[in-house]
Structures are given as structure tokens and as C-alpha cells.
Structure 1
Amino acid sequence: MKALKYFLNTIYLYLAQGINLIFPILIYPFLIDKISLEGFGIIILLQVIMNYGTTLVDYGYNLIGTNEVSNSKSYENLASIVSKVLVVKFILLVLSFLMVFVSVFFIKPLQGKCEIVFLGWLNVVGIGLYPIWYFQGKEEMQLIGIINLVSKLVTIVGILLFIKGADDINLTVFFLSLSSVLCALFSWIYIYVRDKLRFSLPTPLEVISDLRIGFSIFLSNILVQLYSNFVLIISTGMLNTVEIGILGVYLKLRDVFVSVIGPIQQAVYPELSKLINSKLVKKTRELIRKTLFVLFSISIITSLGYYAFFDYINKLLFENNAEVLDMLAFLCILLIAPYGGLITRVLVANKKNKFVFLSTFFSGLFALVTSHIMVYKFSLKGALYVIFFSYLLNVVMGSYFLIKKKL
């Protein structure tokens, strides 16, 4: 029965992510053709900056909130959890607005482009308020799929109908943000109508307590963004516009891969949390081993697929500007990327948030220190090397903490 539940939850999440996989296939080649690889690179740069805002607003609640909801004991307790999360997120949204708009002054391709930055920030609002943690905690993954499908279809139709050329970059960003805003809106309408949770204003002490609990995870997630995407921001001063566009496409291909493995990690996390809280060590280790095997298999298959179809991908997405060596460096990232997410979930479920912070801190520090040197010396390949070695360092340190604490 447990295996069937994991399977069904994973299927539901794949239905949710399926549109996320189809979306790049349908839209990215179209956008590159309409707004050029350089224009697409600007959009990816903007999205990277917005990821920092999204990470701030999330504040680790996709893990903490899921854990709390899955272990809630009563209607009143569930309503209290939701109320606290919403209050904290609205506070963080204000801070994210201030943080995101700093980029207008310091990042050259976005200087003076307040309108496109604001449209991009709407994506932060949508993703930040999307209660995926609520649905995961209640193990209602099918709802995520339905809501995600409807909102993505609206975006796809809008882009295909209204994006005509390079002058439509702002409109493109609006449609990309619209998807996440609709996800959040549809979700909260559904929760309000079905569950009728009564909102209660939490006390300042409750808000501060939640902020303290999530702080280590927030710092860790920010550092993950640092070593995953900061190199693109650094590269704007050293790579030409075509190379920035190529790097941006690689980052999006990585995100597509994360969309493939994400549902597996999300599906096992609630049960993983319960097993760890119940101190069922053998069952926990068995679940971890099986999940790692599946993740590794997907990594191998995906990497072989990207390599086998390199010529087609190069023509479709890179306008024949990519090199095989760049692709090989990218495939190394895909082979190591899945493990960090699962290790983080195990540590969080064990309430070892400081370990999560330490592993990502040193990985982020490595990216920060080496990005400029590596990009200057090795150009585009250097940027990909930084991402790979940062991922590797994070996985090695996280694994060390697990082994040391016999988790």
C-alpha cells in the first residue's frame, strides 16, 4: 500500500510538472525565434534575479510548511499554521520587492528597465503565495496538477498569440509571471471554498518563532541560488550577449531536469518526514536508497538523451552557437544535481537545519570566490564548471553530515 501511495503521489506530481516539461518545448524555441537568443538571455537573467526574491518569500516553507501540515492534529492547528505562513510571506514579499529593484541600479542589462523588473516581480508574488506546501502536507498532489495545467495553458496561449518580435520582451515577461499568479489565486480560492479555514492573526512572538525556525533553511536556499545562478550575473560583464543567452538556456534545461526529478523528491518527503519522526531508521534508509537509485537512473537517461540529440538541440535552442565540450560540462551538472535536494529533505526532517546551512554556505562561498576567475579564464565552460563543483561540494558535505550523525 505504501508503494502504491508513493506511485500515485508521484504520478499526480508528474501531471503537475508535465506541463512544466511541455512548456519549454513549446515556448522556448518560439521565444528564441521571436525575440532572439540575446533577448531570451535577458529574460533568463531577470528570472535568475527573481529566483532570489522567490527564495526569500518561500523562506523554507515548502519544507517546513509541508512538515507542519502533514503532522497537524486538528482543524484549529491547521488554521493556525496557514495563518502564520501567510503573515510571514506578506512581510517577506515587501522585502523581496525592495531587494529585486536594487538590480535595476547594479546589473547593466536591466539598468533603467523598471517596468520589466516589476513584471518579473509579479512572478515572485505568484510563486511565493502558491500553497504547494499545503497540498503536499495533505498529500493532495492531484490538485497541484490541475491548477498548474490551467494556469500554464493560459500563459502558452497568450505567448503564442501576442508575442511577435523583439519589442515584445515586456509582454513576454508579463505572460510568464501570469502563470504563477493564476496558480496562487486558483489555489487559495479552492482552499477557502473547500476547507473554510478561519484566518487568525498570529502574535508577534509566533511570527518571530517561525522566522527563527526557517532562517537556516532560508540562508541555505539563498546560497543554493548563489552557486546555481550567481555565475550568470557575474558573467554579464565578461561574456558576450550570445554566450549569456547560451548559458541562460543551459540553466533552463537544468530547470527542466529538476522538474523531472522534483515530483519524486516531493512525493516521498511527507512519508520520509513521518518515518524519521517515528525513529524508524531501517525503513528510512530503505526509502532513501530506493529514491537515490531512481534519481540516478533518471540522471543517466536524461544525460544520454541530451548528448544523443546535441545537434538538434544546438540548432533549435542555441542557433548553432553551442559546443560539445560545453554540453559535456552541463551533463556533469545533471549527474550530480538530484542528490542535494534529497539530502536536504532528510536533514530538515531530522531538524538538522544548521547542517543544511553549513553545506550550502561553503558551496555558495566557493561559487562566489571562483566565479569571476573561472569565467574570465574559461569563458562559458568556466561558468558551467563553477556550478558543477558547487553542486558536488554541497552533496559531499551533506552526505558527510548524514554519515557522521548516522541518519
Structure 2
Amino acid sequence: MRLTVIGTGYVGAVHAACMAHIGHQVLGVDVDPDRIAALTAGRPPFYEPGLAGMLKRTVDAGRLRFSTSVAEAVRFATMHFVCVGTPQLPGADAADLRHVEAAVERLAAHLPGGAESVLVVGKSTVPVGTAERLAGRLGTAADVAWNPEFLREGRAVQDTMCPQRIVVGVPTARAEARLREVYAPLTAVGVPFIATDPATAELVKLASNSFLATKISFINAMAEICDGTGADVLTLAEAMGADPRIGPRFLVPGLGFGGSCLPKDIRAFAARAEELGLGESVAFLRQIDEINTRQRRRTVELAERLVAGSFPGRRVAVLGAAFKPGSDDVRDSPALAVAEAVRGRGAQVCVHDPEAADNARVAHPALRFAPDVTKTCDRADVVLHLTEWPQYRELDPVALASVVRTPAIVDARHTLDPKAWQAAGWTLCAPGRPRLG
């Protein structure tokens, strides 16, 4: 099939490459000419494992190309996936839909009237009711369906090629049939295909992200209780997760969630519910958001206790800048929020990240960065482990103890071996766990 992808950010670039990989002819469209040039050369403009190779193979095979022209997209295909961002509105909790609306407006300007064969498929995360409103804008020029993405940065290619489910919200049987054809190579190997109405499809993404955020914040709330009672949150989580009704996934205490999805999605969901007069139904999401934000303050307080309650003049090493491992995305990064808070209290902060340092340096120019862990930790009074990159888990605590001024570490992600670090002479603190050393 021939299809276009409007917007080539994290979602769009991955979707375009993966659809070309399974055999479709794909045209990716973006307003950013530099991004289009990079993608045309087979270079993704961001770090995502597996994407560079897939991009190069599909471009070289002639199944994937890129353009800045929406008019070309309309000539190329009659199915258009809209994959633009929906960030949080400045100064508000609601989603900023300007990019989605602009993409649809650009399509509308080139679509012939009464083109019943045209299908616009939204993949962006949007407030419920958006598809219906956009369908009203397009009228008879196109059908509008919604096909939410469930990608995890760092695993986006894997999640597209081997999804746990494909959800489509369709206005007609014809639209459903066309989307079944698009995803036939995946459903042929057993991927569930769930067809529903557009409003339900929009809600699936919002409800799923809200549930995951709730699970993460719940165990972090329990970590606070453990800190006040002497209990161990990791054992608590293990015992809770053994119940199949609860399960262990996302029941992981630590610094909390960040990035471009969960925080803004739960805020936008709550804001939309309030617009509809249904705010009481999801009022708990406000508390979930507050619990998550509080983990950053608690991590700063843990670090402050390890430097005798005073940051001024102290050297603090921060391991991690990306909001999660496997990504160079620093949007709403809990690690950088902690680093900035510590710097704001007078500490000298040095940050390391294996992939996100360049992006972090642009977003946080007041922070200092080092190219390796040894230089980052040089004469540090405390080390903060804030993004759970595998290479940090494999650090030698004995070797690192010879670099720092004081062997003290906050494991805000609970991935270090506390016994190994304690045996090497370190004092280790982690949210919800008894202090070691």
C-alpha cells in the first residue's frame, strides 16, 4: 500500500520506517527541512535503538522517502497518518493541538472535495473528541480515524514491529478494512487488532498512560511510608507484584516518571475531563502528578543528608540526564530536574549521560558535563544515580571509590547492588530502603 506519515518526530519517523519495512511504500513529510535532509540520508535526528539501520535499509530499498510538501503527499497516497506532537499548553494543563490542527489544515488545502477514498489517521495523543472535531473540519474530503501509538522510547522499533495490540477508532467499515490491510503483516503473526469508535480509541491511550502513572506513583507513595516506618519498599513491591491481580510491571519505586508522554498526558486527561464536567472522575490524577513530582524533591533531600545537610561548596556527580535509558530525550527529565535543584542550592554539579549529554547541555546550559563517569565523579562529595543506564549498573564500586572525595551514593533507581557498594566502603541511600554503610 501507499501511505504518508505527516510529522517525523519520535513517533512519525519510527512509524514510517517500520511501515516501509513491512512492505508499504511510504512518504514521510515534515516542515523541518534539516530533519528531512537527515532522514533522506538515512540518519535519524534522535537516538532510538534499531532505527538507524531500519531507516537506511528502507530508504536504500526505495520503499521510504521524505519531503516537505503536503501537496506531494496528497498526490502520493490516499491514506495519511498524522504523527505530530501534542505538548502541554504553556501555562496550562491542556494539550496543545496546534500541530495536529495545522497538519490537518495543510492536508485539507490540497484534498479534492468529495474524495471518499481519502483516510486521515491520527496517531497523536489527543483529548477525547478531537477526531470528531477534525472530521467536521474535513467534511466529505476525507474520513478520520484514530490509531493511537503505544511506543516506549528506547523500544519504539520493537513496539511497532511487535505491538501488544493495535487499536483503531474508525468511522466506517471501509476505514476499518483499509487499516486491517495496512497492519495485515502484523496481525498475520497474532497481534491483536481492536476496532472501535474514534472516541474510545482516543481514550485507550489516555487511560492506559494514566493507569501506568498511577501504578508508578502508588509504589513511590509506599516508598515514602517505608522511609517513615523502616520497611523495605523493594520487598513490599515484590510481594505485591506476586499477586497476579497486581503484577510486578511498573511497580518499581524510584525517582518517578518523566519524558514527553506520561506527565503531560495525565494533566491533559484531567483538564479535558474538567472541560466535560467530569473532573471528579479523574481527580486522583492530580494527586498522582503531585506524588510523582515530590520524588524529585525527596531525592534532593536524600542527597542533602549525605552531605551533612549543606550543598554550598560540595561537588555532586549526577549519573544520567535522559528521562529514561535507551533515549536521548531530556524533556521533563527527573534527573535534570534534580541536578538543577541541587545546583540551585549551591552545589557544584557535573553530569554524565551516554546518549543525552548534547541535548541536556542545550536545555540546561548552567550545568557542567563530563565525557565519562570517572571525570564526572572526580572528587565528588556525593554521587546521584538518576537514570538507570545499564553501564551504570555495571560500574565497579571499588574503582569509583578511589575517584570520589566521599564514597556516598543515592541510588534513585534501585538498580545498583547495595551489598557490593557497601562492601566497597560506600554509604548507599535509596528511596524507601534502609540506609546502608
Q: TM-score, normalised by structure 1?
A: 0.23
Rg larger for: 2
Q: TM-score, normalised by structure 2?
A: 0.22
Higher-RCO chain (CA-CA 8 Å, sequence separation at least 6): 1
